[in-house]
Amino acid sequence: MTFSVHGLAVARGIAIGRAVLMASSRADVAHYFIEPAKIESEIERVRDGRNAVVDELHRLQHTISMMGPKEAPHELSALLDVHLMLLQDEELIGGVKHWISDRLYNAEWALTTQLDVLSRQFDDMEDDYLRGRKADLEQVADRILRYMKGVALPVAPPAASRRKTQQDLLLDDSIDVPLVMIAHDLSPADMLQFKQSVFAGFVTDVGGRNSHTAIVARSMDIPAVVGARSASQLVRQDDWVIIDGDAGVMIVDPSPIILAEYGFKQRQAELERGRLSRLRHTPALTLDGQKIELLANIELPEDAPGAMEAGAAGVGLFRSEFLFMGRRGHLPNEEEQFQAYKRAVEGMQGLPVTIRTVDVGADKPLDDTRRDEAHLNPALGLRAIRWSLADPAMFLTQLRAILRAAAHGKVNMLIPMLAHGSEIRHTLSLIDFARAELDNRGTPYGPVSLGAMIEIPAAALTVKIFLKYFDFLSIGTNDLIQYTLAIDRADESVAHLYDPLHPAVLRLVAETIAECDVQGKPVSVCGEMAGDTTLTRLLLGLGLRSFSMHPAQILAVKQEVLRSDASRLTPWAQAIMDSEDPAAALEA
Ligand code: PEP
Ligand code: MG
């Protein structure tokens, strides 16, 4: 039966495919398709893992049988019996075989998929004791996974992301159909894993439109819906679903008529993409001849080719924290960071790269084991520059790596979340210190322009102080909105109040741009507002001449620029900002 689930639209486009339900704790498992010739060896890998764990548990049983009841209570032995029974259950291995041979999932993916299927069966059980065995099942699967990791085969190169149209689907109902991921929650680090994976779209139960998870989905340019509440409960493994990333809707088990309609929309979107791609080499000039800088936001050095492909004039925001995530406490050292920054710089082939120093905390934990649950308000806590200044050794390592990369191309260094003059001075003294350290070591480094992000109202209101110290500013509207309106950007329950067009937000943005203009210093917007085509003309009217966004948005924003007369937009934008309801005024 067809039904729909509503959430927040975060990444445009239509995806049609089969649902893969994913427990968030399993998100860091590799997902790739195997060659048919590898089916037997993949099944063998799971079997070996299972057998190794069975042996391990038998050994453990033997050890505890030698102990007295005090050291090894009876419950321990009973628990091992349960684990052994679950391991030998044919439903586990039989299901895994199905996912490997019929769907060509790699072994780890097949195991976690079957685990999710069985977990749901446990959830549905009436008996409390049996329901509680789900945790045991998860433990045994984790043991197998851990064993498999130790002897894992090298990960095959990921299959290219599949953008199949509905027509393709009707012609081809083989295993080679798109897959879409449905999860309760995904962290930004999980999303990074999926950058390399096979999924054609995502839906999550939680999350806000400008959460970092949503931002990464957008940067992957695949349809995504977040905040869809109980989506992961309503969809079953392997259901056919449509994700409408423009409307923020997921349609489950669509009828042929609905499929045909969305297939049509999908083809329209493809045509639009093709049309926009012709603008790649067109200079971004307004009708009145003003040059507009369109820059790319990237998360990894590997995103640089995509930025070049989209015709970006450089990187306006390299979110370096993604190099620090999912590493289970082992932060990247100076050499590793230097190589990553250098790769990004070289990838941009002489165009400038703005590297933002690490911005972790709040909804960007370093990894899933280090979510900040200890503090009541992580978004107001030890985040971004505050985290860096609290750990000078870590920060200096990053500063040296960025300075060294600057010897290989044009690098700007951008500091997130500054609010206080004392933080600015402390940061600048550490940058000087990092230079002195490199001098002492005789390590070459290059010049950098220094920029600050304007993300906190306090910063926007004291821009003059910032401009005394910095060469350029970059307005992080995602956080500026969050902190101006006191709306958690990752919380779907208040997402309706997260408003880029609130007059207070527009005023802070406009005044920051105006002060930079007066002082002749560059300013850009690198928050999601910059890539929103419905806001391009307004931002141009407020005086903005530099926009930094996901590469996927650049050509659509360029189209808006080419159609705009910037000089005539100024009074119009001023009137919108001064109105009581700018959203309504913008639509009028
Ligand atoms: C912002 O806050 O607008 C920004 C660009 O930074 P991030 O989204 O990474 O917090
Ligand atoms: Mg920010």
Task: Give the domain ranges of the chain.
Answer: 3-21+155-253, 25-149, 284-587
| DSSP secondary structure letters along 437-489 | HHHHHT-----EEEEEEE-SHHHHTTHHHHHHH-SEEEE-HHHHHHHHHT--T
Collapsed DSSP state (helix, strand, coil) of residue 540: helix
- Residue 28 sits at the vertex; the CA angle it makes with 190 and 56, to the nearest 5 degrees, is 155
Q: Which of 102-111, 520-529, 532-541, 553-562 has the lowest mean pLDDT?
A: 102-111
With 90 as the cut, is the pLDDT of residue 538 above it?
yes
Q: What are phi and psi of 314, to 5 degrees?
A: 155, -175
Token pair in block for residue 245: 């990333």
Token pair in block for residue 542: 């407020």
Is residue 455 in contact with ligand 1, taking CB distance under 6 Å?
A: yes
- Spatial contact of 185 and 217, defined as CB atoms under 8 Å apart: no
Collapsed DSSP state (helix, strand, coil) of residue 296: strand
Q: What mean pLDDT comes out for the span 397-412?
A: 98
* Total residues found in the chain within this entry: 588
Nearest CA to ligand 1 atom 3: 476
Percent of the chain scoring above 70 in pLDDT: 90
Is residue 17 in contact with ligand 1, taking CB distance under 6 Å?
A: no
Please give the helix or strand (H or E) that residue 585 lies within, else none.
helix 582-587
- 83 tagged catalytic: no
| Residue 5 pLDDT | 95
Cα four-point dihedral sign 407, 408, 411, 416: negative
Mean pLDDT of the chain: 88
Which of the pair, 447 or 116, is modelled with greater confidence?
Answer: 447
| Residue 176 pLDDT | 63
Is residue 479 in contact with ligand 1, taking CB distance under 6 Å?
A: yes
Q: Give per-residue pLDDT as tens, 372-392.
A: 556 678 889 999 999 999 999
- 516 tagged catalytic: no
Residues 6+ apart with CB under 8 A from 399: 357, 413, 430, 431, 434
Of 1.10.3720.10, 3.20.20.60, 3.40.50.300, 1.10.10.10, the CATH number of 284-587 is: 3.20.20.60
Residue 214's pLDDT band, with cuts at 50, 70 and 90, is confident
Q: What separation in Å is there between the alpha carbon of 479 and the centre of ligand 2?
A: 5
Q: What mean pLDDT comes out for the span 148-160?
A: 43
Q: What separation in Å is there between the alpha carbon of 11 and the centre of ligand 2?
A: 19
**Quick one: which atom of ligand 1 is closest to the CA of 526?**
5
pTM over 0.85: no
Residue 36's pLDDT band, with cuts at 50, 70 and 90, is very high
Nearest CA to ligand 1 atom 4: 476
| Residue 372 pLDDT | 56
| Residue 60 pLDDT | 79
Residue 564's pLDDT band, with cuts at 50, 70 and 90, is very high
| Residue 505 pLDDT | 98
Q: What's the distance, Cα to Cα, between the start and end of the chain in Å? A: 40
CA distance 292 to 79: 66
- Spatial contact of 232 and 205, defined as CB atoms under 8 Å apart: yes
| Residue 568 pLDDT | 95
Q: Give per-residue pLDDT as tens, 303-338.
A: 999 999 999 999 999 999 999 987 777 899 999 999
- Residue 67 sits at the vertex; the CA angle it makes with 61 and 70, to the nearest 5 degrees, is 115
- Spatial contact of 431 and 399, defined as CB atoms under 8 Å apart: yes
With 60 as the cut, is the pLDDT of residue 166 above it?
no
Q: Give per-residue pLDDT as tens, 49-83.
A: 899 888 888 887 777 777 666 665 666 677 778 88
Which of the pair, 368 or 128, is modelled with greater confidence?
Answer: 128
Is residue 558 in contact with ligand 1, taking CB distance under 6 Å?
A: no
Q: Which of 241-245, 329-333, 576-580 has the lowest mean pLDDT?
A: 329-333
- CATH classification code of 3-21+155-253: 3.50.30.10
Is residue 165 in contact with ligand 1, taking CB distance under 6 Å?
A: no
Task: Assign 3-class secondary structure to 8-25.
Answer: EEEECCEEEEEEEEECHH
Q: What is the DSSP letter of 71?
A: T
| Residue 162 pLDDT | 36
Q: What mean pLDDT comes out for the span 176-201?
A: 79
Q: Which of 208-222, 392-406, 475-489, 531-545 has the lowest mean pLDDT?
A: 208-222
Q: What separation in Å is there between the alpha carbon of 188 and the centre of ligand 1?
A: 13
Which of the pair, 128 or 410, is modelled with greater confidence?
Answer: 410
Whole-angstrom Cα Rg for the chain = 26
CA distance 491 to 470: 33
- Quickly name the fold that domain 25-149 has: Enzyme I; Chain A, domain 2 (1.10.274)
Residue 95 amino acid letter: G
Residue 28's pLDDT band, with cuts at 50, 70 and 90, is low
Question: b/e per residue, 256-269, with b = 16+ CB within 10 A?
Answer: eebbebbbebbeeb
Q: What mean pLDDT comes out for the span 5-21?
A: 91
| Residue 374 pLDDT | 60
Q: What mean pLDDT comes out for the span 514-540?
A: 97
Q: What mean pLDDT comes out for the span 561-567?
A: 96
199-204/224-226 β-pairing: parallel
